[in-house]
Structure 1
Amino acid sequence: MASRAVMGKVPSKVTSCLISTSKTVARSPLFKANSQQPGSRSLSTSSLASSTRMFAQSQRHINLFPALSRRQYSQIQHSAQYGQPTWMTHPHLMKQGEITPGISSAEYEVRRTLLMECLPKNSIVISTSHRTRFMTNNIFYPFHQHTDFSYLCGFNEPDSALVLEKDDSPRGYKMTMFVAPKNANVEMWEGARTGLDAAKEVFGADEAVDANLFRYRIVDMTSRYENVYFDYPTPSVFMPIEIAKKLHNKPGSDAMNAPKGLSPLIQEQRVIKSEAEIKLMRQAGEISGKAFIETMKFTDPARLEHQVYAKFDFECRMRGSQMMAYVPVVAGGSNALTMHYVNNDQPLKDGDLLLMDAGGEYNGYASDITRTWPVNGKFTQAQKDLYEVVLNANKECIKLCTEEHGLSLNQIHDVSMRLTKEGLAKLGIKPLANDVDRRLYPHHVGHYLGMDVHDTGDISRSRVLKEGMVITIEPGLYIPRDSAYPEKYQGIGIRIEDNVVIGKTVPHVLSVTAPKEVVDIEYCCNN
């Protein structure tokens, strides 16, 4: 999805530590163990345990095993209900030892350990979940967890909290979870809760506390620490505004020991994806790519934009996507000149192009793909001319997405802008002064992608790209209805967006399933 450039700052004290350790762990045997590449055999539980031991002994000296031993797991009743899928209740979705589909308990342990190891002594971390949001009265929106909170523990219930206290234990920290207790009456109406016991047994907490006690416990807990890492949350019953203020104005606070932002530190880890994460994102891209194929086949002048939206949504969900990663842009004709057109309520017209910016979310990881195709299945010459300008910029910029090239997203954007201007010049189009970056191509070439669509927003796009980062490459061209431009090009909007993993020497395109060559699009639309 097209985005503006946003620059972010990250505290320098722990940044270098997080960058180096997150990159090391992303390539460790542990992270590779749960990531199956095409043609490879899945590793057994014993293999995962073996690689876990090796990594723990040689690199970190921490306990990376799941919270329960195999014998303890066998004692859990498989009929027990939790507030989210587990490998015990949903073996068709998850493998043994996974906390969330595709991500093991060992990987969550590594994430927390990396964070705590890079913090000074006498530190405490507080991460809070999202709350339930309501459309009206008792009608709630579908719940989507706060991604930083989810990244650290995988717990998927609202009004919860994770507290990590740095200590000298073998684990390196104490983990306390504040969660809703089991309540038969509430669960009869709202569904199962995980409860306090499972927060320890399944999610690995050292202590689990009734979430209703959070407001009373947290101020006392933080008063014992010099370094408090905490993001100011949206006020709720769970985190009243007066409690949040107390955390930010605790006795003895000054410029040195006032609460510090947590999200920038977590994002330093999140920006480099593990192989398990990339595997999930590859699946998200494949699901969405196949949905694009079916949606192209479905498109014709008799359709409405919202019907095309519905088709794409349906095809993603039928292939395993749980939801749309964002509200899709389904823009026929000149509607594509609006970058984030989401009304999606106009009829399609014969002879127009259709720009669709959409992606499914798969097990917590987003895809973000844009394709542009002719409503009637055949590009006009003018449409094809402009399309090839954008396609060339897309393909050339993707080639630069390697660590070897040593470029940043901002530098790749500059390349895309140059290529766009050169392509327009070949067509005899002479933009008005500053019109290319003001109207013809007003958005950035890309952004980071991961658990969020616009992922790790605190990471600057001027940072040099490293292996394991995932970004979008999405040049575009939007010709306004202005007499300064040839009439045959006016009202045409084109964007081509791919999801790309930064490789050491070769980029890896996650959205390759979605057709983007002219011949492939026309074939798909007409067959």
Structure 2
Amino acid sequence: MRHLPISSDLFVENRAKLAKMLPPNSLAIVHANDVLPTNADGSLKICPNTDLFYLSGVEQEESILLIYPDAFEPKHREILFLREPTELLQIWEGQKLTQEAATAASGVTTVKWLKDFPQVLRDCMLGADQVFLNRNEHRRAAAVVQTRDDRFLLECQQQYPLHTYRRLAPLLHQLRAVKSGPEVDLIREAVSITKKGFERLLKFVKPGVTEHQVEAELAHEFISNRGGFAYTPIVASGKNACGLHYIDNDQVCNDGDMLLLDVGSNYANYNADMTRTIPVNGKFTERQRDVYNAVLRTMRASIEGAVVGKLHRDWQHEAQEMINEELVGLGLLTKEDVAKHTRDQPACKKYFMHGLGHPLGLDVHDVAPVDAPFAPGWVLTVEPGIYLPDEGFAVRLENDILVTENGPVDLMADIPVEVEEIEALMAAGK
């Protein structure tokens, strides 16, 4: 845990919100993620289960959270189950949560060891009428590997076949879409670290550096500030930027190239997601500037358009119509092309083929109800782009915003983005 401690009040409040959504006499259970194997006897560092973290603040492997608000026994209403920190375990793996430390972090007063889980589960199941179990229900998830939640679902249904089982994910998607003040503060910290990384790059980038050297500069700044990469960074020079998920980051940045940087820091499991496109030599050509400003105008207008009550699909369509007009001005589309535009076949698709943005939070592509309009507390990315493989470059710009009753708040408003800002800072770095 690199980040500073978070007040347990956040997690206490999150559990209270979930408890209010559960029907009478219902039980909910959430598991930690697996520690994934690599090769030989290797394994990856655990990626905390974001639902478990949202409800408890716990990031430790094999942990289980049980919530049973109507339990007859008060001690059964919230229970955390943890690996017991034996002497042998701590010799090999280091410090583990004690019961006292887990209570301090989560606000859960009843903390037990994993060996107690089967009996406590039986006691609770024999009293509960409905059981809410969790799965990864993100609409873009590639669910090809069975998770701890998946395995428990099968075991629980086999052992207790007469209960009514319900999906927990839709409830958590509703809750997690709306960020509380403390959550927004953690996202702002991730944004602040991202800004430091970008400003470091503006002083570093020049013809002859490699994409992986640029990535290393980011790693230094993020980790030095208690963060880390929110996702595998895209550091794409020249035509590489026309591959939307290019992550090789192994090419030389040449004089005259544009360098697309889709990078963001993670802080306390909350994420920033930023894209900037800069000239490797510090000076935009006239064509690069024109394309860049077209994307920038679209991003700024799309930020203003992210208002309470708007549906994502309508917001996306508005951006496509703006990009259509920009492409006409750039000589890439004709007015006749634009006249044929439809929602299903947008005129701009050849040059702007991806979504305008997505919810952001504990996951980079955070969970939210698919059909819900934007609401106060939603945090979104805004990322239009124009891709020109025939001209050897692309421009994408991305800021993170907070939706409020009084209009959108740009969380990245102080991160350089104007052409003049970029050129001045790169010149100062040299």
Alpha-carbon deviations, 1:129-148, whole Å to 9, x = none? 11222322343322221000
Q: Is the 8 A contact 1:117 1:172 kept in 2?
A: no
Q: Is the 8 A contact 1:230 1:259 kept in 2?
A: yes
Partner of 2:384: 475
Partner of 2:221: 315
Alpha-carbon deviations, 1:48-91, whole Å to 9, x = none? xxxxxxxxxxxxxxxxxxxxxxxxxxxxxxxxxxxx58xxxxxx
RMSD over equivalenced CA pairs, Å: 2.5
Q: Is the 8 A contact 1:116 1:172 kept in 2?
A: no
Q: Take 1:213 and 1:272, find their aligned partners in 2: how far apart are those partners?
A: 34
Tell me the percent identity: 29
- The higher relative CO (CA closer than 8 Å, separation ≥ 6) is in 1
Partner of 1:448: 359
C-alpha displacement at 1:500, in angstroms?
0.3
Alpha-carbon deviations, 1:288-322, whole Å to 9, x = none? 0121111122111110111111111212222332x
Q: Give the stretch that moved more between structures: 351-360 or 166-175.
A: 166-175
C-alpha displacement at 1:203, in angstroms?
3.3
Letter in 2 for 1:333: G
Partner of 1:228: 131
Q: Is the 8 A contact 2:8 2:104 kept in 1?
A: no
Letter in 2 for 1:474: E
Alignment partner for residue 466 of structure 1, among 366, 375, 381?
Answer: 375
Alignment partner for residue 165 of structure 1, among 68, 80, 95?
Answer: 68
Q: Take 2:427 and 2:99, find their aligned partners in 1: how far apart are those partners?
A: 56
Q: Take 2:94 and 2:29, find their aligned partners in 1: how far apart are those partners?
A: 27
Letter in 2 for 1:347: V
Partner of 1:517: 418
Partner of 1:496: 397
Q: Take 2:362 and 2:347, find their aligned partners in 1: how far apart are those partners?
A: 32
C-alpha displacement at 1:215, in angstroms?
5.1
Q: Is the 8 A contact 1:439 1:480 kept in 2?
A: no
Partner of 1:261: 167
Partner of 2:293: 388
C-alpha change, 1:376 and 1:407, in structure 2 (3 Å) is: same
Q: Take 1:288 and 1:169, find their aligned partners in 2: how far apart are those partners?
A: 48
Q: Give the stretch that moved more between structures: 182-191 or 328-337.
A: 182-191
Q: What SS does the corresponding residue of 1:499 show, helix, strand or coil?
A: strand
Q: What SS does the corresponding residue of 2:96 show, helix, strand or coil?
A: coil
Q: Take 2:406 and 2:282, find their aligned partners in 1: how far apart are those partners?
A: 37
Letter in 2 for 1:245: L
C-alpha displacement at 1:209, in angstroms?
2.6
Q: Is the 8 A contact 1:334 1:491 kept in 2?
A: yes
Q: TM-score, length-normalised on structure 1?
A: 0.73
Partner of 2:142: none
Partner of 1:439: 350
C-alpha displacement at 1:480, in angstroms?
3.2
Partner of 1:346: 251
C-alpha displacement at 1:347, in angstroms?
0.9
Q: What SS does the corresponding residue of 1:494 show, helix, strand or coil?
A: strand
Q: Take 2:124 and 2:348, find their aligned partners in 1: how far apart are those partners?
A: 51
Q: What SS does the corresponding residue of 1:140 show, helix, strand or coil?
A: coil
Q: TM-score, length-normalised on structure 2?
A: 0.89
C-alpha displacement at 1:240, in angstroms?
8.8
Partner of 1:418: 321
Alignment partner for residue 244 of structure 1, among 134, 141, 153?
Answer: 153
Partner of 2:274: 369
Alpha-carbon deviations, 1:207-266, whole Å to 9, x = none? 333224535653564343221111248657x7794x53132345454xxx5422212211
Q: What SS does the corresponding residue of 1:402 show, helix, strand or coil?
A: coil
C-alpha change, 1:428 and 1:203, in structure 2 (3 Å) is: closer
Structure 2 unpaired stretches of 5+: 137-144
Q: Take 1:435 and 1:269, find their aligned partners in 2: how far apart are those partners?
A: 33
Q: Is the 8 A contact 2:327 2:348 kept in 1?
A: no
Q: Take 2:10 and 2:291, find their aligned partners in 1: how far apart are those partners?
A: 45
C-alpha displacement at 1:274, in angstroms?
0.9
Q: Is the 8 A contact 1:249 1:258 kept in 2?
A: no
C-alpha displacement at 1:202, in angstroms?
5.2
Aligned residues: 412
Alpha-carbon deviations, 1:361-394, whole Å to 9, x = none? 0112100000001111111111111111111100
Q: Take 2:296 and 2:172, find their aligned partners in 1: how far apart are those partners?
A: 35
Partner of 2:139: none
C-alpha change, 1:342 and 1:503, in structure 2 (3 Å) is: same
Q: Is the 8 A contact 1:408 1:463 kept in 2?
A: yes
C-alpha displacement at 1:189, in angstroms?
1.9
Partner of 2:231: 326
Q: Take 1:210 and 1:377, find their aligned partners in 2: how far apart are those partners?
A: 57
Letter in 1 for 2:177: V
C-alpha displacement at 1:343, in angstroms?
0.7
Q: Take 2:382 and 2:91, find their aligned partners in 1: how far apart are those partners?
A: 46
Alignment partner for residue 302 of structure 1, among 197, 208, 212?
Answer: 208
Q: Take 2:231 and 2:357, find their aligned partners in 1: how far apart are those partners?
A: 16
Q: Output aligned runs, 1:64-83, within 5 Å.
A: none
Partner of 1:131: 34
C-alpha change, 1:136 and 1:216, in structure 2 (3 Å) is: farther
Letter in 2 for 1:195: T
C-alpha displacement at 1:492, in angstroms?
2.0
Q: Is the 8 A contact 2:133 2:149 kept in 1?
A: no
Q: Is the 8 A contact 2:12 2:106 kept in 1?
A: no
Partner of 2:193: 287
Partner of 2:95: 192
Partner of 1:108: 11
Partner of 2:427: 526
C-alpha displacement at 1:467, in angstroms?
1.5
Q: Is the 8 A contact 2:235 2:247 kept in 1?
A: yes
C-alpha displacement at 1:499, in angstroms?
0.3
Q: Is the 8 A contact 2:324 2:348 kept in 1?
A: no
C-alpha displacement at 1:200, in angstroms?
4.3
